[in-house]
Amino acid sequence: MKVVLQRVSKASVTIGREIPAVIGNGLLILLGIVEEDTPDDINWLTNKIVNLRIFGDDNGVMNKSVKDVNGDIIVVSQFTLHALTKKGNRPSYIKAAKPDIAVPLYESFVKQLEINLGKIVQTGQFGAMMQVSLVNDGPVTIIIDTKNKE
């Protein structure tokens, strides 16, 4: 499981003419899933995300978590995070989990994130063509891969 976390002052997801997700201060999370991902990956990653100290304290030092600042979260499925680009110029997405595996893991990830955060997490729509807008605050962008957690 791989995520790109972006600390945002605002973010939204648009699908067609609908805007299913809008937040202010918080995190925009792009989530990529592979077939080898497990519930243990979800538990470790969601705990890491809500406790990661990447928000400023009163002295401007990154010392607070999204939970500490009562921030919001949007999660967007992003199979392209697992693109293989070594050969040729067309990325291969063969490592990305197929929907029958990815959707339940995606839904479980969002549910566990809500439990750890203590509030509703907004989402895009799995598999949909989406437009994601954000104002990256800092900018702060962090990549976490559960295959590199040790």
Average pLDDT over residues 91-118: 96
Answer yes or no: is pLDDT of 24 > 80. Answer: yes
Answer yes or no: is pLDDT of 150 > 80. Answer: no
Give the span between the Cα atoms of 104 and 84, in whole angstroms.
Answer: 24
Full-model pTM: 0.95
**Into how many domains does the chain fold?**
1
Check residue 27 and report its DSSP letter: E
Band of the pLDDT at 68, cuts 50, 70, 90? very high
CATH number at residue 137: 3.50.80.10
Looking at the DSSP bridge assignments, the partners of residue 15 are 18
Per the structure, the complete domain to which residue 137 belongs is given by 2-148
Given the residues 6, 46, 78, 122, select the one marked as catalytic.
Answer: 78
H-helix or E-strand containing 122? strand 122-123
H-helix or E-strand containing 22? strand 18-23
Distance of CA 146 to the CA centre of its chain: 13
Task: Report the SS3 class of residue 50.
Answer: helix
Give the span between the Cα atoms of 113 and 131, in whole angstroms.
Answer: 23
**Alpha helix positions (H), the chain:** 39-51, 99-117
- The yes-or-no answer on residue 78 being catalytic is yes
Band of the pLDDT at 149, cuts 50, 70, 90? confident
Average pLDDT over residues 39-68: 97
Six-digit token pair at 118?
Answer: 């203590």
Determine if the peptide bond prior to 39 is cis (ω within 30°): no
pLDDT at 84: 92
Average pLDDT over residues 120-137: 96
Average pLDDT over residues 131-136: 98
Answer yes or no: is pLDDT of 73 > 80. Answer: yes
Band of the pLDDT at 15, cuts 50, 70, 90? very high
Give the span between the Cα atoms of 41 and 143, in whole angstroms.
Answer: 15
Given the residues 46, 55, 79, 123, select the one marked as catalytic.
Answer: 79
**Alpha helix positions (H), 35-137:** 39-51, 99-117
pLDDT at 105: 97
